[in-house]
Amino acid sequence: MALRSIANHPLKPIGLGCMNLSHAYGQPPSESQASRLLLSAIDMGVDHFDTAALYGFGNNEKLVGQVLKPHRQNIFLASKCGMTGVDGKRVIDGRPATLRATLEQSLQNLQTDVIDLYYLHRWDKSIPIEDSVGELARMVEEGKIKAIGLSEVSGKTLRKAHQIHPIAAVQTEYSLWTRNPEISVLDTCRELGTAFVAFSPLARGFLSGQVADKNQLIDGDIRKGMPRFQDEHMQKNLALLTELELLSKQLQCSKAQLSLAWLLHQGEHIIPIPGTTQLSHLTENISASQIRLNTEQLALLANVFAPSKISGSRYPTATQVEIDTEEF
């Protein structure tokens, strides 16, 4: 599959989301295991690594910075501000001074002089998007970041931000299981020349078929509190995997590979960043870019996972109000 791009920087079709090496899914791997996975990704040709100030409350940036510093000139490095850990709690703060302080810490953690893509992780709705993006634009002018991204925003908010400074990428959850970007922001990105970076492209493990029971999730795993992973919704959603399983067997690939391939076929401006702690899954995910699907196969999957057939919202109510993404 042909290369894709962010801010005119050519990239492989699939990048690596680094979050779960330090954050969100319970006990993370050891530092040595996480380091081995990052270096293996380099060996496999991965050139796009995505982290954030929030992940591990700075520890993920430190890990990525330490391990990938010798390879810095050969990779595209993305991080995020606007949502950090303060006194052990997640805090959304889009004030320019806060974004500036986060950037300086991120540069130190990542052991670099410049970040290729710096996202506003969440739009702080108490601060005009123009103010937050204006500060990010000053960072570009100073040469501390090369491009600006936004995360979990609507098409309307993207347009407002884009008037202040070109937005190179929007990062939002997108998968067969979560089709919200198709409402507006996916087309808005295409129109504006903005890349679309799909996080959780495997639906937080659901599409791989390896998360069938909330009780198998350990303490500290954010999925334990997500509606779709609760028993009453999970049982309905599991039925959707039957067709995915059948088609994956026909194509001699895994359900995860098929899911990523479907996503890549939705637009040349889409770049999935699946995360993993397993080397075998890393290899599997990267090779998904070699799978070709025809119109009939794409339509079948789109119909099986139509938004009306998905049971449960993707976030708990408290988290849902924090995002700006259009919702079905």
Which residues are part of the catalytic machinery? 55
Are the CB atoms for 100 and 51 separated by under 8 Å? no
- What is the structure's pLDDT at 76? 98
How high is the mean pLDDT of the chain?
Answer: 96
Q: Quick: pLDDT tens for 46-86.
A: 999 999 999 999 999 999 999 999 999 999 999 999 999 99
What is residue 47's three-state secondary structure? coil
In a domain, 212, yes or no: no
In a domain, 217, yes or no: no
Residue 214: pLDDT band (50, 70, 90) is: confident
Mean pLDDT throughout 107-132? 98
In a domain, 211, yes or no: no
In a domain, 38, yes or no: yes
- Could you give the C-alpha distances from 157 to 147, 172, 195, in angstroms and in order? 17, 13, 15
Give pTM, 2 decimals: 0.97
- What is the structure's pLDDT at 65? 98
Please report, for the domain that includes residue 167, its CATH number.
3.20.20.100
DSSP string of 79-99?
EEESEEEETTEEEE---HHHH
- Over 80: is that where the pLDDT of 215 sits? no
In a domain, 105, yes or no: yes
In a domain, 313, yes or no: no
- Over 90: is that where the pLDDT of 217 sits? no
Nearest alpha-carbon partner for 154 in 132, 182, 131, 191: 182
**In this predicted structure, which of 133-142, 185-194, 205-214 has the lowest mean pLDDT?**
205-214
- Over 80: is that where the pLDDT of 201 sits? yes
> Structural domain of residue 22, as residue ranges?
4-205+256-291
Residue 216: pLDDT band (50, 70, 90) is: confident
Mean pLDDT throughout 159-186? 98
- Over 90: is that where the pLDDT of 212 sits? no
Q: Per the structure, how many domains does the chain have?
A: 1
DSSP string of 288-321?
GGG----HHHHHHHHHHT-GGG--S-SS-HHHHT
Strand bridging mode 148-151 / 83-86: unpaired
Percent of all residues in the chain with a pLDDT value above 90, rounded to a whole number: 93
In a domain, 246, yes or no: no
In a domain, 249, yes or no: no
- What is the structure's pLDDT at 293? 98
